[in-house]
Chain A
Amino acid sequence: MYFKILMGYILGYVTIEIEGYFTERFINLCNTKKIFLWNLKKINNGIIKANISISDFKKLKDIAKKTKCRIRICKKEGIPFFFNRYKKRKIFLLLFLLVLIGIGVLSNFIWNIEITGTNRINKEEIENLLAENDFKVGTSKIGLSTKEIIDKIRLERDDIAWVGIEIEGTSATVKIVEADLKPEIIPEDEYCNIIATKDGTIVKISAQNGTPVVKEGDSVTKGSVLVAGWLEGKYTGIRYVHANGEVKAKVKYSEKVKVPLNQVKKVETGETENKYSVKINNFQINLSKRVSKFENYDTIEENKKLRLFSNFYLPIEINKTTYKEYKNENINYSLEEAKQMAEKEATKKLDEQIQDKESILNKQVEEEIAEEYVEVEVIYEVLESIGTKEKIVF
């Protein structure tokens, strides 16, 4: 029965008013003729409201005549009537079709390119590289061969191990796996020196092959030769060799941090102002004035690409600009506070540079106090091996 009502809605139904003295007879006749009526309602004496499907409605004529009832249509509902309503609105229909076609056509272009997997390589470089190979926002998906683009990129860049382009709807994901840089290995049969990579004081030097040039305790500068790639024999004279050995040195890392005692700090007042603009392809429409009403403010921009469904990006962007008001507040730090802050910051910076924490030999803190600021220098002494091989060029 519910199925019948549902079908009635899809195929269309009308609400009618039956007026007459023999409404019961009318209903019974409908029943015997298998005409389906539903939602019968007695309104007045002699008037019944009922729903009936369109196809059945045509059969009512005979019954109405027989029972001397009058039938009046109150309401037309259902999909056929809905479409009928728009028959006269040709321009509306045309535009609706145009929109549909537009969506269909636009779905054949790529509107969003996402590059993932890049750590060392700049994303813009990849974007430019893709653009050179005709793969950018706005390219058609038809006739696009991702394999060709991938091959071209891989030929051009050595530092990319693998590239994958995945197109889903109108968004493309470019996955990149970076290749590790090739280490420079000097073959055993070539002559080389060992040179210093960093400034430092030599702690230990052991040459397995070659002649050590510096002693323990010597301070060396970056680039100076530590173990020379030759041997001097009594009878053989000078003979060039492939220098080999380990050089350990104390390397000083230092970091200076200046902290003024009087600082101006931003304090947010909590007041924000949102402004929106719409960007279509490259054309920006501001929906409100760009100038903020605040005197001091931070600007935060948020972009949102419009999309239909989960993966169908449209070339429309909504930019939201949030202005956050802040106040400038003067803060006076005491000498101790400033010192601590500076030292903390310097230590943090140094910790980022040094990976091997266990090899830290010494930590030194130097302070310089002036009237307006405190300058703290933190010096770490780290035991490191500083030798690398360098080819001897004759």
Chain B
Amino acid sequence: MRKQRKKVAQNKINNLLEIPQEVSSNIPKVTITGFEQILIENYKTILEYQDFYIRLSTEIGILNINGFGLDLKEMTSDDLLITGKIDSIDFESIEDE
């Protein structure tokens, strides 16, 4: 409860200062350009990497990318650029207790 209250307070401040969410917290930002490029910022680790399936873990859950011929074009510790034919993206959010 305490933790949640703290979070709410932080959110309020951030809203007030208009700080973007992905900056203030470690929430991932997913940018899809066209159908063949997807940029994920603030990811944690790669859980699984296949030609047709990429599974990433993030702060708030797991991100699945289905597609065809997926390449990890550029990779740094917080950004990931994926190219290839993207079919679908789905999320599995972690429930807070």
Pair count A-B, CB < 8 A = 49
The CA of A31 and the CA of B56, in the complex, are separated in Å by 13
CB–CB A28/B71 < 8 A = no
Q: Which 9 A-B pairs have the closest CB atoms?
A: A40-B72, A42-B51, A28-B45, A31-B77, A41-B71, A38-B74, A24-B46, A1-B74, A24-B49
The answer to the question of A37 belonging to the interface, with a C-beta cut-off of 8 Å to chain B, is yes
With A40-B72, A42-B70 already in contact, the answer to whether A27 and B46 are too (CB < 8 A) is yes
The CA of A5 and the CA of B76, in the complex, are separated in Å by 12
CB–CB B70/A34 < 8 A = no
Binary contact track B70-97/A, C-beta < 8 Å → 1, others 0 = 1111111101010000000000000000
Binary contact track B40-67/A, C-beta < 8 Å → 1, others 0 = 0000011111110000000000000000
Contacts A31-B76, A39-B71, A42-B70 aside, 17 further interface pairs with beta carbons under 8 A come to A1-B79, A23-B49, A24-B45, A24-B47, A24-B48, A27-B72, A28-B45, A31-B77, A34-B77, A38-B75, A39-B74, A40-B73, A41-B72, A42-B49, A42-B50, A45-B50, A48-B49
B residues with CB within 8 A of A: 45-51, 70-77, 79, 81
Of B49, B51, B70, B73, most A-chain CB atoms within 10 Å: B49
A interface, by DSSP: helix, strand, loop or mixed? mixed
CB–CB B75/A37 < 8 A = yes
CB distance from A20 to the nearest CB of B (A): 12
The CA of A34 and the CA of B77, in the complex, are separated in Å by 7
Residues of B within 8 A of A36 (CB): 75-76
Chain B minimum-CB-distance residue to A28:
B45
Residues of B within 8 A of A42 (CB): 49-51, 70-71
CB distance from A13 to the nearest CB of B (A): 13
Residues of A within 8 A of B71 (CB): 39-42
CB–CB B49/A27 < 8 A = yes
Chain A minimum-CB-distance residue to B75:
A37
The CA of A24 and the CA of B49, in the complex, are separated in Å by 6
CB–CB A32/B77 < 8 A = yes
Which residues of A (43-60) have their CB < 8 Å from a CB of B?
A: 45, 48
The CA of A24 and the CA of B71, in the complex, are separated in Å by 13
Residues of B within 8 A of A45 (CB): 50
The CA of A1 and the CA of B79, in the complex, are separated in Å by 10
The CA of A31 and the CA of B75, in the complex, are separated in Å by 8
Q: List 10 A-B contacts (CB under 8 A).
A: A31-B75, A31-B76, A36-B75, A37-B75, A38-B75, A39-B71, A39-B74, A40-B71, A40-B75, A42-B50
Chain B minimum-CB-distance residue to A38:
B74
The CA of A38 and the CA of B71, in the complex, are separated in Å by 9
Residues of B within 8 A of A27 (CB): 46, 49, 72, 75
CB distance from B65 to the nearest CB of A (A): 13
The CA of A339 and the CA of B73, in the complex, are separated in Å by 86
Residues of A within 8 A of B70 (CB): 42
Binary contact track A268-293/B, C-beta < 8 Å → 1, others 0 = 00000000000000000000000000
Of B70, B75, B76, B81, most A-chain CB atoms within 10 Å: B75
Residues of A within 8 A of B45 (CB): 24, 28, 31
The CA of A40 and the CA of B76, in the complex, are separated in Å by 12
CB distance from A32 to the nearest CB of B (A): 7
Binary contact track A13-39/B, C-beta < 8 Å → 1, others 0 = 000000000011001100110101111
CB distance from B13 to the nearest CB of A (A): 31
Residues of A within 8 A of B73 (CB): 38-40
CB distance from B39 to the nearest CB of A (A): 10
